[in-house]
Amino acid sequence: RATLESAKEFKKVVDTVAQILDEICLIANEDGITARAMDPSHVALVSLEIPRLSFEDYEIEGEKEIGIDLEAFKKIMNRAKSKDKLILELDEEKNKLNVIFENSGRRKFSLALLDISASEIKMPEIEYPAVVMLKGDAFKEALKDADLISDYVILKVEDNKFIVETKGELNDFSAEFDEDSSALISIESQGHAKSAFNLEYLLDMVKGIKAGDIVKLYLGTDMPLKLEYSLGGANLTFLLAPRIE
């Protein structure tokens, strides 16, 4: 049984993960809740971690695997109201996850669990030549700009600048974040990094980002992008395979 202070914040987590995956197996143990899975095409990976400390209350015995249909969970979470607390309660007898919104009253959905097991995927240990921290909404806006021009985007780090660019058949777009840019928090690089990525996936991954959030990007040349940010007490990490010329 786990209680989160803001159901509405957690809704964003579920929305974002549901953009990429159809189902997920949550692992709940005394450290908190984690989950990791690749999308069916193996282009993207989502890793979710909600540390025990993010919960207002958290009770567990042993370790539980909770298989969830994300489309159904998303629909339920969309009913969260702004002051609702969220209680997630595993009913092992009925094989259901109770999703409870608590405010002046108490609304309970019982979500049927899926018979899936947790994936054994470990994050690959990749050495990245460049790490960029920037304001999440600035990154999201640059991706939306690029989306007007093409279906892919090039993310580059060169000369202590982070660049988002794309070329269409007729039109081009580029956004530069250098040390003078208030959106750029930090940039560490050993040499250049340049990789191209599918924009649809990237836009799905940044869906939950809002003003004030900070994203951390790990980049290389023709390497997967690693993207991290925190949302509603959850740490989200995404990997996205590059497009290669």
Question: Given the rule CB under 8 A, which residues bind other proteins?
Answer: 38, 41-45, 121, 124, 126, 152, 196, 198, 223-224, 239, 241-245
Smallest separation (angstroms) from other proteins to the CB of 173: 17
Smallest separation (angstroms) from other proteins to the CB of 143: 17
Smallest separation (angstroms) from other proteins to the CB of 73: 24
Q: In DSSP terms, which residues pair with 18 in a beta bridge?
A: none
61/127 with CB nearer other proteins:
127
Smallest separation (angstroms) from other proteins to the CB of 169: 14
Tokens of 147: 């989306």
**Of residues 196, 178, 187, 243, the one with CA closest to residue 218:** 187
Smallest separation (angstroms) from other proteins to the CB of 240: 8
Q: Which residues contact 113 (CB under 8 A, 6 or more apart)?
A: 66, 67, 68, 95, 96, 97
Smallest separation (angstroms) from other proteins to the CB of 42: 4
112/121 with CB nearer other proteins:
121
Report how far Cα 16 is from the mean position of its chain's Cα atoms: 6
**Of residues 65, 74, 69, the one with CA closest to residue 16:** 74
11/194 with CB nearer other proteins:
194
Q: Helices 7-20 and 70-77 sit at what angle, rounded to 10 degrees? A: 150
10/218 with CB nearer other proteins:
218
Q: How many CB atoms neighbour CB 107 within 10 A?
A: 14
Q: Which residues contact 8 (CB under 8 A, 6 or more apart)?
A: 80, 81, 82, 84
100/217 with CB nearer other proteins:
217
Give residue 160's identity as a one-letter amino acid code: N
41/82 with CB nearer other proteins:
41
